[in-house]
């Protein structure tokens, strides 16, 4: 963050690249904070997002990963222009919207929507699903009441719920269903880019897989781009075309999913990858090789290297047990499994594990 004078950065988008849907260039966000220590009580600036550059192509899923506090949600809020950047630019289809206001900003908010982590806290508990889903349409005066009602029912069906669910309130839905309502609300204004900020993180693992399958299906049907924020790399591996790795406000690595998972370059990415379960054998071989290399650097003893790999395997086995549901419903190359039953399973889980 502010203290790191010359952090190691991933190269930004290639110069001369044409036609991204969204382009963030040198995006920076600082927050005023009270200083501590000798200058206690004074004001200083904390840089939450530090000179971040990346592209999102039409129809592409770009994952943003990093530890808690690394600046992912701040980046999401900048991309959705829920806050103004302190520096850098944000272009959407070549238009600079970094400092857009008024009608220009309102129009942009129709192009970019956000799905948040906790479906219940992001949905008004007093409103029906229909009112929640159509709120953006009502706000933007896109259509009249009858048309909104009809659209709400169509959207419910699109996200795997029943039109009759329109009358229910959030407390009458399971976690997975409530997140489908959040997705329906995001899609109501027919955006081009959907920012999913830990949108599946709070869900039970099998429901998580269903919601990911839904997002992918919607993408196939309508060509949405996603900025998909998650701290769980097993989830990212299932959905991402490209991966951005963030640490202390800085993008330290970016590349295709296979590049980042198969040949991570930054030590921080290697650390993040060290404990995720095996799905793709090639990635798994690369991971085991890295574990051996890391152990070898420290000890040069082959026995200890084997021990490190075994320890990594033990951690992995524990993780694999946790993600078995996701692995069963989803292959690494994006194939949906038969368990993508959408609403039925969500309903079945209602009253069981809190999703």
Ligand X SMILES: Nc1ncnc2c1ncn2[C@@H]1O[C@H](COP(=O)(O)OP(=O)(O)OP(=O)(O)O)[C@@H](O)[C@H]1O
Contact with ligand X (CB under 6 A) among 61, 73, 113, 323: 73
Distance CA 320, CA 142 (A): 46
Query: Residue 71's binding partner, choosing from Mg ion, ligand X, none, with beta-carbon cut-off 5 to 8 A by kind?
Result: ligand X
When the beta carbons of 56 and 309 are compared against ligand X, the nearer one is 56
Distance CA 245, CA 250 (A): 8
**Is residue 66 at the binding interface for ligand X, with CB under 6 A as the rule?**
yes
Contact with ligand X (CB under 6 A) among 21, 22, 24, 48: 48
Contact with ligand X (CB under 6 A) among 30, 70, 122, 213: 70
- Quote the crossing angle between the two packed helices 145-158 and 129-139, to the nearest 10°: 120
Contact with ligand X (CB under 6 A) among 11, 19, 42, 69: 69
When the beta carbons of 118 and 284 are compared against ligand X, the nearer one is 118
When the beta carbons of 86 and 280 are compared against ligand X, the nearer one is 86
Beta bridge partners of 45: 32
Distance CA 90, CA 16 (A): 17
3-state secondary structure 56-80: ECCCCEEEEECCCCCCHHHHHHHHC
CB of 72 to Mg ion, least distance (A): 5
When the beta carbons of 3 and 221 are compared against ligand X, the nearer one is 3
The H or E element that residue 225 is part of is strand 225-229
**Is residue 122 at the binding interface for ligand X, with CB under 6 A as the rule?**
no
User: How many C-beta atoms surround the C-beta of residue 102 within 10 A?
Assistant: 7
Query: Residue 231's binding partner, choosing from ligand X, Mg ion, none, with beta-carbon cut-off 5 to 8 A by kind?
Result: ligand X
When the beta carbons of 194 and 246 are compared against ligand X, the nearer one is 246
CB of 134 to ligand X, least distance (A): 29
Distance CA 302, CA 163 (A): 62
- Give the list of residues 6+ apart from residue 105 with CB closer than 8 angstroms, or none: 81, 97
Residues that bind ligand X (CB under 6 A): 31, 46, 48, 66, 68-74, 231
């Amino acid at each position: 963050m502010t203290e790191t004078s010359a952090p190691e950065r991933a190269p930004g988008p290639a110069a001369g690249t044409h036609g991204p849907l969204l382009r963030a260039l040198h995006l920076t966000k600082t927050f005023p904070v009270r200083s501590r220590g000798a200058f206690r009580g004074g004001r200083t600036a904390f840089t939450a997002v530090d000179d971040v550059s990346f592209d999102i192509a039409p129809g592409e899923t770009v994952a943003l990963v990093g530890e808690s506090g690394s600046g992912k949600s701040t980046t999401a809020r900048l991309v959705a222009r829920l806050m103004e950047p302190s520096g850098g630019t944000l272009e959407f289809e070549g238009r600079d919207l970094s400092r857009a206001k008024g009608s220009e900003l309102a129009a942009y908010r129709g192009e970019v929507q956000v799905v948040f982590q906790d479906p219940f806290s992001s949905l008004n508990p007093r409103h029906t699903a229909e009112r929640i889903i159509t709120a953006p349409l009502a706000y933007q005066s896109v259509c009249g009441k009858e048309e909104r009602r009809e659209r709400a029912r169509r959207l419910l069906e699109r996200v795997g719920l029943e039109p009759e669910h329109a009358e229910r309130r959030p407390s009458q839905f399971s976690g997975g269903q409530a997140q489908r309502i959040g997705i329906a609300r995001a899609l109501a204004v027919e955006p081009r880019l959907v920012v999913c900020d830990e949108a599946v993180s709070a869900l039970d693992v099998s429901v998580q897989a269903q919601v990911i399958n839904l997002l992918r299906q919607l993408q196939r049907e309508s060509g949405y781009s996603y900025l998909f924020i998650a701290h769980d790399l097993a989830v990212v591996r299932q959905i991402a075309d490209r991966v951005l790795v963030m640490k202390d406000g800085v993008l330290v690595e970016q590349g295709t999913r296979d590049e980042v998972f198969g040949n991570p370059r930054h030590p921080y990415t290697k650390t993040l990858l060290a404990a995720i379960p095996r799905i793709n054998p090639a990635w798994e071989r690369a991971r085991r090789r890295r574990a051996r290399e890391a152990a070898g650097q420290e000890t040069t003893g082959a026995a200890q290297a084997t021990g490190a790999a075994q320890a990594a395997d033990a951690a992995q086995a524990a993780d694999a047990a946790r993600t078995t549901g996701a692995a069963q419903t989803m292959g690494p190359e994006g194939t949906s499994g038969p368990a993508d039953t959408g609403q039925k399973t969500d309903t079945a889980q209602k009253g069981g594990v809190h999703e």
